[in-house]
Each structure stands twice: as structure tokens, then as C-alpha cells.
Amino acid sequence: MMSRRDSAEGQPQAEQDEQNEQDEQNELSWTAGPLDSVSVTAATSLALQSARSKSSLSEKSTENEQKYDNVSSHVWSDADYDSMLETIEKVESAGEIPNNRPSWANKTEYLLAQVGFSVGLSTVWRFPYLCFHNGGGSFLIIYVFLMFLVGVPLLLLEMAAGQRMRQGSIGVWKIVSPWLGGVGVLMTWSLFYLTQSLQSPLPWALCPLLENSSQFDPECVRTIPTVYFWYRHVLNASDKVEIGGLPVTHLSVCLFVTWLITCISMIKGLKSSGKMLYVSVFLPYIIFFFLLIRSLMLKGAGFGLKHILSAKVSALYSLQVWRRTGNQLFLSLGSGFGSFTAISSYIPRSNNCVVDAFIVALFNLLTSVTAVVFVFAIMGHYATKNFEKCYFKNAEEVRNLVVAGVLPPEASFPESLYQDISATYSAWVSSLPEDIRNVLLTYLTNCSLNEELKEVMEGPGVALVAFTDIVSVFKRPAFWAIIIFVFLVTLGLSTLMGIVQGIITPLQDSFSSLRKHTKLLTVSICAFMFLSSLVFVGPSGSYYVNLLDDYWASVPLFCVLIMENIAIVWIYGARRFLADIIIIFGRPIPPIYRWLWCYASPFVLVVLFLSTLIHLYLNPISYIAWNSSISNEVDQSYPSWMKILLIVLIVVTILPIPAYFLYTLYTVYFSASKTHSRTTVTFEPEAKGDILGSRPRLHSRQGLKKMSKIDKKLGGNLPAM
């Protein structure tokens, strides 16, 4: 077999020089062009090509492989880095030819897009509830540990892949993902609350009156107005998931407006979405800061905050707690949805994505912890109020017992103690004679502050109820309600924009004709998502959202993350990928990332994936439903047909991965066999100057001369890691 240099030796010198100059220009243009996304199938294709080409490697290539092995064995040394960077700079600067791919206007818009996607309603929606029911401070400890052990490395992996390869993810199947509809519904609920905030008094401040009556609705009287309004007016929830119905009108309208706003924000691509991000990211943080300060000033807030600090040691050893924490981490952070890769593909390759990964992770962590502090402070306040109501109810009961003659007059509750009943009630009961106290306790309710907190923290909608409750402490509740729900709407908008961007980018990268019709593509995706989300705004729609959130989303997500990790780190090569990051911003990163990518991340992901499957297999799936007869939340088991639906959703979401893998495997095998039958094929290793700039390729003998001059400049070829 002839190498590239051998194929050019028979030409006249002048003709060869002219041809080489033309070939160099073509090659540099090819080097600067966008590269394919890294996927399992693509990496497998490379492996197949490499395997078929081994028999035709030239002696020159073998020498270069040995030379490269010596370099790669010392990949962490400063001298090798300097040598690699010197060569990289020459090739990158020579090949930096602009292409037609759009880019963010500035680094700020890019970071806002990444943070806005990562920090969404799911961060505020589920995190406080899970924290309370999974060990409090222990949950936070596990979350922070997993964040830096697995979350940040995988985040960097996705950002670096999109940034270097200038392509979105291959996960086009996410278009039909039910999770996207569920995310849109969270914003829909917030939008409906925003519309209801435009009236005074606020509709959730008091129980409504019965029609043609002066009596309050007994269903509301048995609970608190905010909870009643949530289940009865916002969700119009049925008592069971089996009781369905047509989509609720007001939620359907809000859902349409949600996707309309998302569509308008992205209709002009990065130009419109980039400017919208200044509002949808900065505004929520400003509002959230003032809400946090106000919540900490409430009576009883300190009691709620104690539960954050009181970590349960037993939770640290619970596999279920680790599983729930891992689920929340990846659903909240957003890894695996393809959006980080898509957003990063529009930033220059020289961008420092390591710092960006830490910025996004820290913002996500900061927002999660802030949401916990806010919700726990609010719920601690309302637990304290309910606790005092329990004491007042007991004091009133004592008065009635004295009037009825059941208790002597000396058992009466003193009027002077009403001013600070929570501090004086227990001391008063203890001061009563033992015989009177024993009789008294049989008539009184046992008041417990811990039980009151547990009761108000029930249900995944606790965060939204907390936001509706806090407005009562402000002087102008209607105004502050508008501010609060503008905060929630804008928070959800930035997440939806990131998700839609994660769909548009891989579609346009896979089908170049769609790049000319960005507006039509954006409208089509948003219209499709609106129609597919209508199932979540019916009377039992919130129970479907819980099914996706609690049971469905984590299984496909872990599967995607595992395959993504294996494809880039093990098939593509962790050492090779690290060399890419050197190309990205011109200096090495700590070698610990290689260890995290190769061992820690796959191990944690596999454990979480298997534990989730085991949990689904061994335990019945259940949801929290509203029981209108007792005005309380109750645990219900999903019917058997819902379990079948869950399995179908999981299979449908994961199926495209092996299907596309088999399709590409067949295509590569068929095309390679056909090519081999027509011409002699030789496998040429990569150029040293761009270790990941291009992948190993099959070259026919007629095309071997095209890389000769670049080979002479770079001084040889180096194979992939």
C-alpha cells in the first residue's frame, strides 16, 4: 500500500506544488468545517472502519502509531502539552475559516442560556419536598456529593462535545418525549395563577361561598383555602386517575399561551432567544432574593429551617434516598436532554467550558438550596400558625367544659395567656392538679409542631402552595402575587427555551434543509408540543405528570447518560477527548476528570439505573390524590393499565437508541463492503496537529495525495486515542 507521500512522488515538481497548494486550501476548509456529533453508532462505525483497515496499514503508519504511543503515554507532561499546543495553534489558526453556523451574540447570552435551561421550575418544584421527606440535611449532603462527583463531569462532557464538534446531540427522538409536555404544564399552572392574581381579594385567600348561600364551601372549610384553590380551581382534580375527562378550559388556554410565548421567543433563532434570556433569567433571581428575605422574617421560619440542618444519619445509608437524590440531580441539572450540547455548539471552540460547567452547576445548587430555605421558612411559619390554632381550639374546648360543669372553674384557661399561647399553654397544663389534668387531656387534641410541619409539607405541590401563601404577609397581596408568578413563569420559560433548542439544533444538523426554515420548524415543534401536552391539563392530568416525574423520566434519562458516557469516554476515548479540551482553550485540565469519566460516572449511573429498575419491579407505583370527601391528600395506587403505559413509554423512549445503532451498523457494513470490492482502501491515521479535529477516515488511492502538504508541515500522522 502507498502512503499519501508516496502517491505524489511520480508527478512533476511544478505540477505537484500547484496541486498541493490547492489541496491544502481544500483540506484546511474541510478541517474547519463542523464535525459530526459523537454518538454510540458513529463511534461504532469508526471501530468497524478501523478493524477493516488494519490489514492495509502502511509501514509509515505503523511507525507513526509507535511514535504517537510514546506521546500518549506521557499525555500529562507539560513538555508534551507545549508541543501539542504549538502544533494545534498553527493548524487551528490556518484553518479558522468562518462557516454559516450562527453563534451567540456574546458570552453572557450563552451563559444565560445554559443557566436558564438548568435552573427551571423542576428545581423549585420538587427539591424542597424531596429534601423534607428524604432526611433533610442528609439529602443536601448527598446532592452536593453527587453534583461534584458525577453532575459536573457529565455537564463538562456535554458542553465540551457540543463546543468542539459544533453539532447538537443525536437524540432527535426526544421530540416525542412525554417529559417535555410535563415540563410545559408546570409553567401552565404558574401562568394560570398569574392571571388569577389580577383581582382583589385574591381567590385563594378565603374559602368561597356556596351558590345562593351565605355558608362557606365545606370542602374548603375542612382544609386551608390555598390547598382547596390548588386542587379545585387550578387543577379541577378528580379523586382518582381513572376518572378522566376533557382538558380543563382555563388550563388549555394557559397551555396554548405558554407555547405561544416560547415560540415567539425563539422564532428568530439565537437573535430573539438571546435577548429574551436577559429577562427570563435575571428577573427571577432578583424577585427570588426579595422573597427569600421576607420569608426569613416570618414567625416560625426558624423552626422550619431547623429541619434543613437536622440531618438524619440513617438517610446517608439508604439506597432509596440515594436513588431519589440522583433522580432529582439529573432531572434538575438537565444532563442527558441534549440541550447543553446544542447550546454549546453555538459558542467559539476556544471558550473555557470547564469554568462554564462549574458556573451552571453552582447556580443550580444555589437555586435549589435557596428554594429549600424559602419553602421551609414559609412552611415553618404556617406550621407554627396551625400549631397555635390547635392550642386556641383546646383553650376554647376547656372553656366549654367549664361552662358545662364537666371541669371545675379553676381549670379555666386564663385570658392573660392568650397573647403568647404557644409559649404558655404547655406550662399551664402542667400546673393543673393531676386529677383535673387527667380528665382534661381526654377531651383535648394533642398539638405537635412537628406533626403540623409534616402535614403542611405533604404533596409535591407544596412549593406552589408556599408561593401562594406568602402573599398574605404583604400589605398589597395582589401586587406581590403578580410579582411572584411572573417569577415562576419566567423561570419556566428559560427552561422550555433550552429544551426546544435541544430539539431544533440536532434536527437542523441532521437535515440541512431545515436550516433554511427555522421559523417553520420552531412553530411546528411548539404546535406539536402543545397538542401532545393537552393530556396533562385534564382532571387527572396532574397524576400523569406525577407518573412521569416520579417513575418514567429517570429510566430513559439514565440510559441516555450511560450510553453517552460509554460512547465518548470508552469508544471515542477519554484521553483523546481530553486532548480535544486542550484544543478548546489551550491548556490542560486536571487529570481527575479522566478518572471521573471512565470509572466514577459509569459506576454511579449504572447503580442508579439498576436501583430504579429494581424499585419499579418490587414496589407498587402510587400517587398522591385529592379526596374531596375528607378534603385531604391520600395515597392511591396506579391501576394496572397505568403500569403497562409506563413500560410502553420507557420502551418507546429507549428503542431509537438500539434501532439507530443497528441501522448505522448495517449501513457502515454494507457501504464498506461495497467500497472494498471496487477499490483498494488504506487507513491513514490522523494528523498530529488536530488530534480530534477529524476522525479516522477511509481514503481511496486516488485521494491519497490531498493531505501530502499538510502532512509535511505537521511532520507525520498520529492515530486516534
Q: Is 491 annotated as a binding residue?
A: yes
Check if the beta carbon of residue 512 is closer than 8 Å to that of residue 212.
no
Cell 434516598 found at: 321
Closest CA to 270 of 220, 344, 321: 344
Q: What single-letter amino acid sits at 485?
A: F
Q: Is 673 annotated as a binding residue?
A: no
| Residue 313 CA: distances (Å) to CA of 135, 309, 392, 604 | 8, 12, 36, 21
Cell 422550619 found at: 304
Q: How many residues make up the chain in this entry?
A: 721
Helix (H, G, I), strand (E, B) or coil at 686: strand
Q: Is 560 annotated as a binding residue?
A: no
Closest CA to 227 of 471, 498, 456, 516: 456
| Residue 680 CA: distances (Å) to CA of 89, 674, 677 | 34, 11, 8
Helix (H, G, I), strand (E, B) or coil at 209: strand
Cβ-count burial of 20 within 10 angstroms (0-12 exposed, 13-18 middle, 19+ buried)? buried
Q: Is 212 annotated as a binding residue?
A: no
For 603, what's the count of Cα atoms within 13 Å in the CB-facing half-sphere? 8
- Cell readout for 494 is 428559560
Report the C-alpha gap between 691 and 717 in whole angstroms: 9
Supply angle C-alpha 188, 177, 546, rounded to 5.
55
Cell 456529533 found at: 37
Report the C-alpha gap between 72 and 576 in whole angstroms: 9
Closest CA to 427 of 436, 435, 417, 439: 417
Report the C-alpha gap between 20 and 22 in whole angstroms: 5
Going 479 to 485 to 487 to 493, the CA torsion angle's sign is: negative
Q: Which residues pair with 718 in a beta bridge?
A: 686
Question: What φ, ψ does residue 132 adopt, rounded to 5°?
Answer: -65, -40
DSSP alpha helix (H) spans, 267-352: 270-296, 301-309, 319-333, 339-344
Helix (H, G, I), strand (E, B) or coil at 637: strand
Closest CA to 608 of 558, 552, 556, 549: 558
Cβ-count burial of 589 within 10 angstroms (0-12 exposed, 13-18 middle, 19+ buried)? middle
The interaxial angle of helices 270-296 and 477-510, nearest 10 deg, is 150
Cell 429507549 found at: 654
Q: What single-letter amino acid sits at 701?
A: R
- Cell readout for 132 is 423534607
Closest CA to 145 of 558, 678, 600: 600
E-strand ranges in 122-228 read none
Helix (H, G, I), strand (E, B) or coil at 101: coil
Closest CA to 251 of 262, 243, 263, 259: 259
In the DSSP assignment, the letter for residue 587 is S
Q: Please count the other Cβ atoms lying within 10 Å of the Cβ belonging to residue 469.
A: 23
Q: What is the largest CA-CA distance in the chain?
A: 123
Helix (H, G, I), strand (E, B) or coil at 325: helix
Q: Is 116 annotated as a binding residue?
A: yes
Report the C-alpha gap between 86 and 174 in whole angstroms: 41
State the binding site for Na(+): 116, 119, 332, 364, 491
State the binding site: 116, 119, 332, 364, 491
